[in-house]
Amino acid sequence: MGEIKPLQTLAVDIGGSGIKVMVLDEQGNPLSERDRRETPQPATPDAMITTIVELAQDKVFDRVSVGYPGVVRLGITETAANVSPEWIGFDLGSTLTQYLGKPVRIINDADMQGLGAIAGQGVELVITLGTGFGSALFVNAKLLPNLELGHHPFRKGETYEQQLGKAALDAVGKKRWNQRLSQAIANLSHLFNYDKLYIGGGNTKKVEQELPANVIVVPNVTGLLGGIKLWQD
């Protein structure tokens, strides 16, 4: 009998400012460098799929995991807060399968980050600080999909995303942004009574405060490493 070849997964993290890819083995260990390209503007499906295909062309893989910055249901992207409105109702799963010739699974990007970060015990909340504000909730490793906390009211009549997204950070500066983040952590702690809160995303490097003991900053690559869990049924 021939030896069963281990499957390699291309993990794709679609962000409002960057598109990242990496090949992982079955244990989630990186088999390639993390390659990144700026998100094309306007961030239309055509332009972004072209970028993903270009990033994938020199990689060897058997299947694909994608994290998308919005609500995803059965491979179809249903919201588009930080990308082109053309993404609403777009069948990303079928389209990418056609272009890459491999099976594709798609999930919200914060959900994918969470899959890579969580310990799998108790109530674990994940937030991502990037162009927008992503969120994911797990109970004993079971995901509550498409928790779009970023678009809920936070303070002064604005949402978490309006107060803590990249535009807000650029507008008010690091000090005030960190004060807002402190308040958000306190709010979320009272709302979810989580055991652990994980903070990911590109703007974690701007976090300049002492965090509570049950709050952990995770590296940006976690968003790709979660891709392997999408195939662990």
Residues 100-120 have pLDDT tens digits of 999 999 999 999 999 999 999
**Mean pLDDT, the chain, whole residue set:** 96
pLDDT(1) > 60: no
Condensed to tens digits (0 to 9), the pLDDT of residues 143-190 reads: 999 999 999 999 999 999 999 999 999 999 999 999 999 999 999 999
d(CA 167, CA 198): 22
- Cβ–Cβ < 8 Å for 168, 203: no
Class of domain 119-218: alpha beta
CATH code, residues 9-111+225-231:
3.30.420.40
Contacts of 15 (CB under 8 A, 6+ apart): 39, 69, 109, 130, 131, 202
End-to-end CA distance of the chain: 26
Which ranges in the chain are annotated with CATH 3.30.420.40? Answer: 9-111+225-231, 119-218
pLDDT of residue 2: 63
Torsional sign, CA 15, 18, 19, 21:
negative
The pLDDT score that the predictor gives to residue 64 is 98
